[in-house]
Each structure stands twice: as C-alpha cells, then as structure tokens.
C-alpha cells in the first residue's frame, strides 16, 4: 500500500483514539494523538506555575517545553521535557484547563508545526487524530475523516460503559462534552469543524469493530488512488 496521510477529526467520545490506533496498527502506519500533545503542554504549564487562564503568560511560555510523541500505534507515548506524561495528562485538572491553553494562538502554532514535522517524517504514512487536522494541520491529507456521534452515546462512552451508569453522572458528562465542543468550535484559531472534503462517519449505532472496518476500507481506497499507486498498477 502506498504511504498515506490520514486525518481523523471529531469531538470527544466519537471513538477517534481507539479507531485511529487500530487502523494504524492494522495497516502498518504511524499514529499521532494530537490531543495528547495539547494535554502535555497544558500539564507542563500547570507544573511550572504558568497561570493557564492568562493567555499572555501561556503565550510567553509556549516555546519552552519539549513535547515528544511516540508514534507506535500499539504503544504510543507522550512526554514533556523528557518526563512521561501519559498518565498525568488524563487528570481532571488538565482536562478542565486544556481548552483554554489550546486556544492560545502561540500554542497552536507551536504544536501545529510539531504535528506537521511528525507527519512528514512518517516513512509508511500516518494516522493523525485531533480536532483541526483536516482543516488546519494537514489540509492536503490523502484522506480526511470526521467522526460524529450523538451527545448521549458520547457521554456513555466517556463514562466507560453503555449501560448501567447513573443517570445524573451521564447527564453531567454530557453537559461537560457539550461545553467542550462549544469551546473547541468557538475558538478563533483553528476551531473544531468538519473539512469540506472530509468523509463523515456517524459512529452512534456502530460498534468499534464496524467503525475500524469502515475506516480501513476508506484508507485502502485512498492509498490505491494515489498517483504512484496508479503508476505501479499500470506497469
């Protein structure tokens, strides 16, 4: 299969991470979780006393941390200044602050360039997941996919189960997701939105296996349509 760059965007709880990692592993591609990078820089800001609600302070510190992403889909890693951040970036403190930090233009410029460099260096191609990959980071990606799902399904997934969850807890999670969507969609720099040429996949009624199968088929088709693949087929 020809090297292919795949951009997978969408809000939280649509299955982006699970789908992206599985597709990359199945097709032998690299994998990049861009959300983890924004979480890592947010975690660094919190650890280094940068007031995350002060955009000017965040902007001034944006170039300081060294953010490193491992791109093995079966064992992705993320570190800040050489320190493993894979666990700490999932804390509630980081979750509640990442939207504010990632909305700062200087942070987005820094991380966007990092993402482009990683994608360009992937030898066999890469699956990059996030919220602005198809629109801003990799507008020339070979394939753009936008995953969606109903707020109710997304809330259940974020809570870790589809049945038996306390209704009040699910309602709280749903409201948190909607609030995060509004923040991501409403920011001035690289907002969350579907690229005009992206393929929309609604995962509400699909199992993870079905979503993976769908995306794998789309990737294989995109790879087959690349000029070099067509030339090889004609020889």
Q: What rounded mean pLDDT belongs to the chain?
A: 90
232, pLDDT greater than 70: no
Average pLDDT over residues 112-125: 96
Please give the residue that has the higher pLDDT: either 228 or 31.
31
- The residue ranges of every structural domain in the chain are 4-220
- 134-169 pLDDT per residue, tens: 999 999 999 999 999 988 888 877 766 444 556 666
List % helix, strand, coil for the chain (3-state, nearest 5): 50, 15, 35
1, pLDDT greater than 90: no
Entry pTM = 0.87
- pLDDT recorded at residue 167: 60
- 42-74 pLDDT per residue, tens: 999 999 999 999 999 999 999 999 999 999 999
φ, ψ for residue 15 (rounded to 5)? 95, 20
Residue 125 burial by Cβ neighbours in a 10 Å radius (0-12, 13-18, 19+): buried
189, pLDDT greater than 90: no
- pLDDT recorded at residue 165: 53
Contacts of 202 (CB under 8 A, 6+ apart): 148, 149
CB-based contact 43:88 (threshold 8 Å): yes
- pLDDT recorded at residue 112: 97
* Cα–Cα distance measured from residue 173 to residue 150, given in angstroms and rounded to the nearest whole number: 13
- pLDDT recorded at residue 231: 52
- 76-98 pLDDT per residue, tens: 999 999 999 999 999 999 999 99
- pLDDT recorded at residue 31: 98
**Fold classified for 4-220:** Rossmann fold (3.40.50)
């Amino acid at each position: 299969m020809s090297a292919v760059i795949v951009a997978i965007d969408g809000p939280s709880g649509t299955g982006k991470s699970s789908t992206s990692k599985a597709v990359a592993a199945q097709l032998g591609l690299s994998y990049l979780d861009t959300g983890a990078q924004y979480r890592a820089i947010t975690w660094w800001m919190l650890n280094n006393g940068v007031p995350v609600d002060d955009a000017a302070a965040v902007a001034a510190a944006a170039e300081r941390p060294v953010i490193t992403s491992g791109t093995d889909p079966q064992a992705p890693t993320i570190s800040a200044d050489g320190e493993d951040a894979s666990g700490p970036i999932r804390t509630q403190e980081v979750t509640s602050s990442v939207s504010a930090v990632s909305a700062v233009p200087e942070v987005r410029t820094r991380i966007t360039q990092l993402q482009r460099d990683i994608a360009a260096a992937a030898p066999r191609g890469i699956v990059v997941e996030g919220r602005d990959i198809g629109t801003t980071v990799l507008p020339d990606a070979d394939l753009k996919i936008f995953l969606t799902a109903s707020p109710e399904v997304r809330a259940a997934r974020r809570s870790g189960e589809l049945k038996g969850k306390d209704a009040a807890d699910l309602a709280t999670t749903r409201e948190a997701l909607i609030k995060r969507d509004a923040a991501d969609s409403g920011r001035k720099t690289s907002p969350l939105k579907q690229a005009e040429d992206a393929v929309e996949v609604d995962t509400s009624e699909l199992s993870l296996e079905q979503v993976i199968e769908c995306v794998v088929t789309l990737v294989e088709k995109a790879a087959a349509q690349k000029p070099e693949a067509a030339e090889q087929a004609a020889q």
